[in-house]
Amino acid sequence: MHAIIKGLLQKNGSKIVLLVLDGVGGLPYKGTGGPFTGKTELEAAQTPNMDKLSGASACGLHIPVGPGITPGSGPGHLGLFGYNPLKWEIGRGILEAVGLGLDVKKTDVAIRCNYATLEDNVITDRRAGRPPTGRMRKVTERLQREIPEIDGVRFIFGPGMEHRFAVIMRFPETLTPEAAMVNDSDPQMEGKSPLPLIPKHPKAEKTAAIAGKFINKVEELLKEEHPHNYVLVRGFSTHPRMPSFMEAYGLRALAIASYPMYRGLARLMGMEAPDFEGSFGEEIEYMKDNWNSYDFFFIHFKKTDSFGEDGNFAEKVKKIEEADRALPSILALKPEVLIITGDHSTPAVMKGHSWHPVPVMLHASNVLGGLTEGFSERQCLKGELGIIPSATLMPLALANAGRLKKFGS
Amino acid sequence: MHAIIKGLLQKNGSKIVLLVLDGVGGLPYKGTGGPFTGKTELEAAQTPNMDKLSGASACGLHIPVGPGITPGSGPGHLGLFGYNPLKWEIGRGILEAVGLGLDVKKTDVAIRCNYATLEDNVITDRRAGRPPTGRMRKVTERLQREIPEIDGVRFIFGPGMEHRFAVIMRFPETLTPEAAMVNDSDPQMEGKSPLPLIPKHPKAEKTAAIAGKFINKVEELLKEEHPHNYVLVRGFSTHPRMPSFMEAYGLRALAIASYPMYRGLARLMGMEAPDFEGSFGEEIEYMKDNWNSYDFFFIHFKKTDSFGEDGNFAEKVKKIEEADRALPSILALKPEVLIITGDHSTPAVMKGHSWHPVPVMLHASNVLGGLTEGFSERQCLKGELGIIPSATLMPLALANAGRLKKFGS
């Protein structure tokens, strides 16, 4: 589909805004007697602005990966950005690295690391007793100072929570995915020895050798630091190498997200993603300040997902209402296309991501509209988009923005 | 899909009618205060016959190429005829040739030609000053007389509008698509020299050489005819070579269309397509006269698209009403399957083709029905077909005609 889209692209001055209310899709509240009974989070929320807008929008539901498949944040956003998540996989190491705020380039192999406890060459605790985050941040900073590079490969450390951190191995040259074909050293069980790193492709030999030296250096540096005296490595992966937003869609794209992972995901697609931290209102203000410099704006609203994960139905409802109150300030910018949706569903009643199709509305001038009385899962089922793969939203956005020429004559 | 269908075909005496109201899909009228406010062309039209029939039909919407992709007439009809337009591409030269009423065979390379002005081997006007159609028709007829063949390859000319015409190079042997792998000679800019024709495949060498001789002959014949003293060639292409309607579906197919392009498209699929010109009523009369000789009838109604392209909402509405009035005379023939739809949407408010799904109703005896109160975009969203790729309509037509056996046991 990207090849076809690319052949049809035409430039104009239109603006596209993708507002992602993370995990916005939900399921009916199961308690009885209260105001939420039988309603989903979107149905329970007072959202006069979104309700009104839905009538002038193309509405529907989208499926990020496939029926019954619960997406992580990576595949969820890949789908929204128009990349089929089954084709473009973001490796575990890459996702961990971007989630910790590291910048990933096409010269990099990223790995997830755990501090662990090693005794007589046996792993006795894979998580080193879950040490405090603050203490481990200092340890990781020390490793960064002591191991800036190995054999011409730069090492970049990203401290994480408790025993977790990420490492980027930055090579002098651009890599292909084969460079990351190295197994995990983590035996996945306590009482076993770490696994030796074995390259599964000739192009991975250098990666395995240098990662092996890295493990040895860490062991040497931490030998007095029991219980966090060892490192386990997992998820060797390279940049997913998908075409950038500019290559795929001809769009100058700005990502505005307060959480590092979403900025990192956006950067993987070649979006500009400044280290922005602020309220949702400040995110919109920032978009306004940069309105003329970009064609596409991805605004990420995290809290709907967080409260869904917590199983806090009432607070998720409040966060949806908060997003709704900010809608007029987005509409005031008069984008040619405004898409409001989530990257996946996170029903509070399930306390986690789910496979359920995600409600979406696409507001633009050339829509049918008039089919919904509000913005919710059940209303969107009546909409003109039907139930579609998430990755079709970008072609629809481009079409509605007047950025696609006719196919054939 | 064609391979599966082919294995399931069974013959019977059933008749299938595909009535294409070109560009029938639309969008709501944006003016206020009048009778059209908020209604699409189909909603605004008084269509008692189609409305009644929709309740006894399987209704839905179909997408010719893909979400957000606006189809040209070629891909639009390919989809209706059951051929995935992303797989079966109709080359620019072929489309121009069939649009000008030329018959295209599997031995042919077709090219689009422009009369142009050449001065000191530089193109000074790519359109030769847009000369009058009548005068250029005479010039093209002279070329036809003077260049009947080159090196055993027949040349067949099709005069067009103003500076445009088409040429078919008819080889003695059946060709594969590689034979057309020759670049355009058109430099796409004035002030440049024509580009030399360079074969991009060994099988295109003969094509390039003979086309080069053709250009030289034209230059020689027209040297005194400034400003139309040269020819630019573009869009070298061969017959798309899809299986014919008989091969794919076992159907004897008749196309009844007053515009050459649609007859030409139908002939590419192996349909019979007589040079018919007449009103819609006469088209239906012609179908009646030939009812016993064919299994499948494609009737093309052009005017809905023409007024959509003009942005003339009111006239498009009238043309829909005209089609509706003719419906009883089609139903009187008692076809086992009657499909009414468009090849794409042409909303009058957009003055052009669009990507929007096209409403369709399939009338046959074994449908669910009872889901719609009329025939329109919004009504069809309630229908039993859902939103489907256009190319799935032909298998549905065959099934409803009792022409497909069970798959597996």
H helix or E strand, kind and range, residue A11: none
- pLDDT band, residue A33 (cuts 50/70/90): confident
pLDDT at B378 over 90: yes
Confidence (pLDDT) at B33: 86
Instruction: Give the pLDDT band of residue B194 (cuts 50, 70, 90).
Output: very high
Of A339-343, A391-395, B256-260, the one with minimum mean pLDDT is: B256-260
d(C-alpha B244, C-alpha B263), whole Å: 14
Pick the CATH number of B2-89+243-400 from 3.65.10.10, 3.40.720.10, 3.40.50.1220, 3.50.50.60: 3.40.720.10
Q: Do A404 and B67 touch (CB under 8 A)?
A: no
A59 CB within 8 Å of a chain B CB:
no
A366 contacts in chain B (CB < 8 Å): 27, 347, 349-350, 354, 356
What is the predicted pLDDT for the residue at B260? 85
Residue B96, Cα to own-chain centre: how many angstroms? 11
Q: What is the pLDDT of residues A84-130, one digit of tens each?
A: 999 998 888 998 898 888 989 999 999 999 999 999 999 999 999 99
pLDDT category at B258 given cuts 50, 70, 90 is: confident
Burial class, B134, CB count within 10 angstroms (exposed 0-12 / middle 13-18 / buried 19+): exposed
B264 versus B200: the higher-pLDDT residue is B200
Residue spans of the domains in chain B: they are 2-89+243-400, 93-238
Residues of A in contact with B73 (CB under 8 A): 408-409
Is ipTM > 0.95 here? no
Q: Tell me, what's the pLDDT at B382?
A: 97
The answer, yes or no, to whether residue A241 has pLDDT greater than 90, is no
Would you say residue A260 has pLDDT above 90?
Answer: no
Predicted local distance difference test score (pLDDT) of residue B177: 93
Size of interface A-B (CB pairs under 8 A): 86
The whole-angstrom separation of Cα B329 and Cα B331 is: 6
Q: Provide, rounded to the nearest whole percent, the portion of chain A with pLDDT above 70.
A: 100
Q: Is B4 on the interface with A (CB under 8 A)?
A: no
| CA–CA separation, A394 and A298 (whole Å) | 12
Percentage of chain B surpassing pLDDT 70? 100
Q: How many CB atoms lie within 10 A of CB A223?
A: 11
Give the pLDDT confidence of B219-244 residue by residue, as tens digits: 999 999 999 999 999 999 999 889 99
B274-321: per-residue pLDDT in tens?
Answer: 988 889 999 999 999 999 999 999 999 999 999 999 999 999 999 999
Percentage above 90 pLDDT, chain A? 91
Q: B118: pLDDT confidence band, cut at 50, 70 and 90?
A: very high
Q: Which segment of A385-394, B96-105, B227-236, B251-260 scores lowest on mean pLDDT?
A: B96-105
pLDDT band at B1 (very low <50, low <70, confident <90, very high): confident
φ, ψ of residue A255 to 5 degrees: the values are: -105, 130
How close, in Å, is residue B373 to chain A by CA atoms? 15
Choose the weakest-confidence range: A275-284, B206-215, B347-356.
Answer: A275-284
* Cβ atoms of residues B185 and B167 within 8 Å: no
Chain A positions in Cβ-Cβ contact with residue B352 (cut-off 8 Å):
406
Classify A380 as helix, strand or coil.
helix
Q: What band does B197 get if pLDDT is binned at 50, 70 and 90?
A: very high
- From CA A321, how far away is CA A164, in angstroms rounded? 35
| A-chain residues near B92 (CB < 8 A) | 409
For position B259, what pLDDT does the model report? 86
Beta-carbon count within 10 A of B284 CB: 22
- Contact status, residue A407 vs residue B69, Cβ threshold 8 Å: yes
**A159: helix, strand or coil:** strand
Say if CB B20 and CB B283 are below 8 A apart. no
Strands of A352-399, DSSP E: 358-363, 386-389
Domain range A2-89+242-400, CATH class: alpha beta
Q: How does the average pLDDT of chain A come out, rounded?
A: 96
Instruction: Tell me the pLDDT of chain B averaged across its residues.
Output: 96
Banded model confidence at residue A409, pLDDT cuts 50, 70, 90: confident
What's the pTM value of the predicted model, to 2 decimals? 0.90
Q: Can you give the pLDDT at residue B127? A: 94
Output the six-digit token pair for B118: 């050449």
For residue B87, give the amino acid letter.
Answer: K
pLDDT of residue A276: 83
CB contact under 8 A, B68 and A388: no
Nearest residue to B19 (alpha-carbon basis) of B287, B248, B247, B271:
B287
Residue of B nearest to A6 (CA): B69
pLDDT confidence of A83, banded at 50, 70, 90? very high
- For an interface test with A, the pick among B69, B346, B356, B380 (most A C-beta atoms closer than 10 Å) comes out as B69
Shortest Cα distance, chain A CAs vs residue B262, angstroms: 12
Residue entry with tokens 């994480």: A160
Confidence of residue A277 (pLDDT cuts 50, 70, 90): confident
Which of A392, A398, A408 has its CB closest to that of B85? Answer: A408
Q: What would the two tokens of residue B114 be?
A: 């422009």
- Answer yes or no: do B386 and A386 touch at CB < 8 A: yes
Sign of the C-alpha dihedral, residues A390, A176, A268, A143? positive
**Tokens 């498009």 belong to residue:** B316
| Helix, strand, coil distribution of chain B in percent, nearest 5 | 35, 20, 45
Which of B355, B356, B390 best probes binding to A when mutated, by most A CB atoms within 10 angstroms? B355
Strand order across the beta sheet in which A253-256 lies: A253-256, A296-301, A16-21, A337-341, A358-363, A57-63, A386-389
Q: Which of B316, B379, B305 is nearest to B41 (CA)?
A: B316
- Closest residue in B to A395 (Cα–Cα): B68
How does strand A108-119 pair with strand A122-125?
antiparallel
Strands (E) located in B95-192: 108-119, 122-125, 149-150, 153-159, 164-170
Q: Give how far A223 is from chain B: nearest CA, Å.
A: 58
What are B191's two structure tokens?
């002030």
How far apart are the C-alpha atoms of B287 and A77, rounded to whole Å? 53
pLDDT at A125: 96
